[in-house]
Amino acid sequence: MITQNTGPLKGIRILDMTRILAGPTCTQILGDLGADVIKIERPGSGDDTRKWGPPFVKDADGNDTSESAYYLCVNRNKRSLTVDITKPEGQEIIRKLAGKCDVLIENYKVGGLKKYGLDYAGMKEEFPDLVYCSISGFGQSGPKSHRAGYDFMIQAMGGIMSVTGEADGSPMKVGVGIADVMCGMYAAISILSAIRNRDHAGKFDAGGNGQHIDLALLDSQAAWLINSGSNYLTSREDQHRLGNAHPNIVPYQVFKTSDSFFVLAVGNDAQFSKFCEFAKAPELLEDSRFKTNTDRVQNRNILVSLITDLTQQHTTQYWLDGLEKLHVPCGPVNTIKDVFDDPQIQHREMEVSMPHPLSGKGEVSLIGSPVKMSETPVSYRNAPPTLGQHTDEILEEILSMDENERRVLADNGVV
């Protein structure tokens, strides 16, 4: 595990005024890649997700601490600074920090920062090179822009629930906050693009090349409807729930075996032929209803029933072992425990441990970054910070405040 800053974003500083999941997902990605992320939190309470448990990190006596597992998941490689932005002194701290940062990212309700002079319009003139990213439920404009947005409701409004779940069941959300996570990823890409544009444009003019990034959860949810969305735009026919099946490929779903389940993901006619050969079912190959993928999609229910009769005759391991040798895509339906016990996941270091001052074990386990870069690898420098852990450090290091100034701010409840 790399603890020194080796990332390509070393030297970039992010002023992170986000909480919950979408914004913190974005800033953890940037932090893993080497950016210095300053997490702004409300004094006394901080990020809402600190309280979203159990489970919580346990202390040496086995008691719950203030750090939830939810909070830990997206707050690595950040420094926590508590600031009360409702106070003029707190607003001034934010403005001074903005002048020392490349990016400000926030996820307040639309217009929520305007009354403090911390919205983009209020900061653009003073900080023309600042990349300012706003994440909201519905965007900065439009008839629903005033509404708050949460992952669950956005999954519902954004269409993904209508195509998730069993055909005869109720609409179903994805088991994790995927609308938030995907919006966070779009935010990271947008921020990096804006930094690239600013730095490139700065070679040719005197500056003023910052910009406002307006990201909406609903927009990004609509964007990652991907082929389901494209199917509708092409045919103007709504897709209905197919359970674990695929709207455009057959067989491509979960199948029951004699002892559990497995995923069969046949992507082309050659793979279907190999499956039929291993399943000792040449009659499927000879059936005109199943010759091509188009045929198989049109005769989905018939084929799936026939394949299910075959797969239930043997164990999951039988199918996995045999089909893998023939390079037919397949896999087990793992539990979360199974995932982190998988030797491939372990080899790829998708579980990492970092020292943590509140943990009775002295460290916390976190999900590792999937980004593998040969020359500028991600690094794990800071565990998710405790509330206000770096307040004095940041005020002294970046704003050159002496001990007396910091004490006055603390006594007045500003930090």
- Tell me the C-alpha distance between 301 and 280, whole Å: 20
Q: What is the dihedral of CA 184, 186, 188, 189, to 10 degrees?
A: 170
Among 102, 119, 151, 180, the one annotated catalytic: 180
- Tell me the C-alpha distance between 138 and 110, whole Å: 9
- Tell me the C-alpha distance between 384 and 109, whole Å: 25
- Tell me the C-alpha distance between 171 and 153, whole Å: 12
Other CB atoms within 10 A of residue 92 CB: 15
Cα dihedral 102, 42, 68, 171 sign: negative
Other CB atoms within 10 A of residue 307 CB: 22
- Tell me the C-alpha distance between 55 and 66, whole Å: 10
Q: Is 180 a catalytic residue?
A: yes
How far is the CA of 104 from the CAs of 13, 28, 41, 131, 278, in angstroms?
9, 14, 14, 6, 56
> In one letter, which amino acid is 126?
E
- Which residue has 């404009």 as its token pair? 141
Three-state secondary structure call for residue 182: helix
- Tell me the C-alpha distance between 117 and 115, whole Å: 6
Q: Phi and psi of 325, rounded to 5°?
A: -65, -30
Q: Phi and psi of 257, rounded to 5°?
A: -115, -170
Tokens, residue 152:
């669950």
Strands (E), 241-375: 252-256, 261-265, 330-332, 351-355, 363-367
Within 67-177, residue ranges assigned H as helices are 69-72, 88-98, 120-123, 151-157
Asked if 127 and 98 touch (Cβ cutoff 8 Å), the reply is: yes
- Which residue has 């600031």 as its token pair? 83
Other CB atoms within 10 A of residue 232 CB: 15
Question: What angle do the packed helices 269-278 and 316-325 form, to 10 degrees?
Answer: 130
Which residues are the active-site residues? 180
